[in-house]
Structure 1
Amino acid sequence: MTQPPITLLMADDHPIFRHGIEAILSLEDDMTLLGSANSGEQAVAMYRELRPDVVLMDLQMPGMGGLRAIREITEEFPNAKVIVLTTYQGDMQISNALKAGAASYLIKSTLRCDLIFAIRQVHEGGRPIPVDVAKVIQEHTGDDALSAREIEVLGHVALGFSNKRIANQMGISAETVKSHMKSILAKMKARDRAEAVVTALRRGIIEE
């Protein structure tokens, strides 16, 4: 008996990329793309309506981002299978997506054959993680994580705020801000504020 095709939903706000994925999927006899969303909100709504077997989800989209969309879908539908397909390669972005419920994490430069393999594996209940993605995670295993407060401070630093302005924004003293910054630099092995911000952006600890 012929198995029904794997049904998919794609969420990405770049039309050219969506068209490229549509072309790739159209070549596979065992896959059918049910629809494409250009925002997290639309992805959640379309999932409720279409109930696809697998979702291909970008992280950075207007309005609701992919991470929140993954959480909303997997909380409402615990058996939902989501593959992140994005340009972001930071270890925190990867970790947060997997914690939110993603079954796999692929970079958009992934080869066509690897994408198709991942879709089939996830559909069968697997959680394939490419070697390059696993390596990124492994590089920071054991690192001291920043606290929520430290991430908030670093976010203000990324905006160019002085310690005094950060203190006013957060309702704490300038000395407390200095203490947070000292801890941030030590945990991130950064020489100064600028290096800490660049590293945090690269790793996905804070967003632009």
Structure 2
Amino acid sequence: MDITPHISDLAASRDQVHNLMAETTTVACFGSRALLSLFVCAAPVPQSVVAAVTTEAEGLDRVKQHRPVFLFATEQLESGNGLSLVRHAHREHPELRTLLILQSASAQLLQDALEAGCNGVVVESHLAQGAMVDAIRAVVGGGIYADRLGVEALRATRRGEGPEPLEALSAREHDVLKWLTRGYTNKEMAEALNVSAETIKTHISNILGKLQARDRTHAAVIGLRLGLVTVD
């Protein structure tokens, strides 16, 4: 694959990722030592990476030790696998935000990953096309990231199932749910929609109530599963 046309976009995305990860702590667990080394060296905020390992057991140990905000994992590891790591890490640290990088766009793997609680699932071949920035934004911001195939997989899981919405969302609440799903902050949504942050806060409160959602992430999952949010 020739990613030359994407070089300028990838370079520009570095600053975006820097801002998104500036206040987080991250454990990276990649099966490739070369990729892991490059990730640590090129990380926009290197100090945010508190551990870099290549096996499932090491990854889980570091999650227990550091209780990070964020876990990056690849599907293939030197020992164990990323999906199992995500599943066990969520049990150990329920507030953990996870992003799993898959080698191929397998519907079953996507479904299994989302069922395990992954907040974001990215296929490796999409990383050079800007998917990583979108995924990090969504996951760090409390949203959920999945491409079209991922959304189809999500709808095949039981994740986000529950009572039917109490009331239909208004047009503006649909807009807010879309931005919320992508991980935008209240301030960013207010600027995008040209309203006050307090208005956004009210819209989010209404969305949670109407969807009977526990929090922003749950609302995002429900929105994607019910087709209230479309994937561009």
Residue in 2 aligned with 1:8? 26
Aligned counterpart, 1:37? 53
1:161-198 deviations in Å (ceiling 9; x for gaps): xxxxxxxxxxxxxxxxxxxxxxxxxxxxxxxxxxxxxx
Are 1:124 and 2:141 an aligned pair?
yes
Root-mean-square deviation (Å): 2.9
Alignment check: 8 A CA contact 1:59 1:84 kept: yes
TM-score, normalised with respect to structure 2: 0.52
Give structure 1 stretches of 5+ with no counterpart: 142-208
Task: Please name the residue that 1:114 is paired with.
Answer: 131
Give every structure 1 segment of 4 or more consecutive aligned residues whose post-TM-superposition deviation is greater than 6 Å: none
AA at the equivalent of 1:120: R
- The 2-side partners of 1:64 and 1:4 are apart by 30
State the one-letter code of the partner of 1:7.
T
How far did residue 112 of structure 1 move? 6.8
Aligned-residue offset at 1:29: 4.8
| Equivalent residue in structure 1 for 2:79, among 63, 84, 101 | 63
Q: How big is the shift at 1:79?
A: 1.2
For residue 133 of structure 1, report the CA deviation from its aligned partner: 4.0
Please show how residues 85-96 of structure 1 align to structure 2 within 5 Å: 85-96=101-112
Q: TM-score under structure 1 normalisation?
A: 0.57
Residue identity in the other structure for 2:27: L
In 2, the alpha carbon distance for the partners of 1:118 and 1:31 equals 20
The size of the alignment, in residue pairs, is 137
In the aligned structure 2, how far is the partner of 1:24 from the partner of 1:130?
Answer: 25
| CA contact 1:5–1:31 (8 Å) conserved in 2 | no
Conserved in 2, the CA contact under 8 Å of 1:13 and 1:61?
yes
> Greater CA radius of gyration, 1 or 2?
1
Cα distance in 2 for partners of 1:75, 1:54 equals: 14
Query: Which AA in structure 1 matches 2:142?
Result: G
* TM superposition shift of 1:62: 3.5
1:111 is paired with a residue whose SS is helix
Distance 1:88 1:33, change over 3 A: same
1:48 alignment counterpart:
64
Return the offset for 1:60.
2.0
Deviation of 1:4 after TM superposition, in Å, equals 5.2
Identical amino acids, percent of aligned pairs: 15
> Could you tell me how far 1:39 is from its partner in structure 2?
0.7
Paired AA for residue 116 in structure 1: V
